[in-house]
Amino acid sequence: MGGDITVRSTPGAGSTFIVTLPLPAIDAPAPGAVSAAPASHGPARTLKVLVAEDYPVNRIYLEAVLDKLGHRAVFAENGEEAVRAAQDEDFDIVLMDLHMPVMDGFAAARAIRRVPSSRPCSMRWSGSC
């Protein structure tokens, strides 16, 4: 998209992420103006999401967010469980924690990419056909 991402990090203080995108400017709506487009009350299509996350609080949060957005989530507590889930069914997207017990997210992602899919090549999220 012709943009840029920069990161500044200070140990013990945190990190700042800056995303710059060259998007065209638009005029702000007039005060009290009503939008011509109807408000969206859900996703264009429901996604089936595999979430690999070992921390219980993060799983609860992600479940609430994905549910509110109208998506269906399947949860795995470690990379090995995520690989087994990907072998059993196809997912539209995978959200992967990288630092997990049993099998980390890096190894799990590599293993999931090798799992055959019943979807046509254009639908594969791994990018390899």
pLDDT band at 124 (very low <50, low <70, confident <90, very high): very low
Q: Is the pLDDT of residue 126 over 90?
A: no
Half-sphere exposure of 43 (CA within 13 A, CB side): 12
What dotted CATH number matches 45-129?
3.40.50.2300
Residue 85: predicted pLDDT: 93
Contacts with 45 (C-beta within 8 Å, 6 or more apart), sequence order: none
> What does the domain layout of the chain look like in residue ranges?
45-129
d(CA 2, CA 76): 35
pLDDT tens digits, one per residue of 17-59: 898 988 888 887 777 766 655 555 666 788 999 999 999 999 9
Q: CA-to-CA distance for 55 and 72, rounded, in angstroms?
A: 19
pLDDT band at 2; cut points 50, 70, 90: confident
Q: Give tens-digit pLDDT for 67-93.
A: 999 999 999 999 999 999 999 988 999
pTM above 0.85, yes or no: no
The alpha carbons of the chain give a radius of gyration, in whole angstroms, of 19
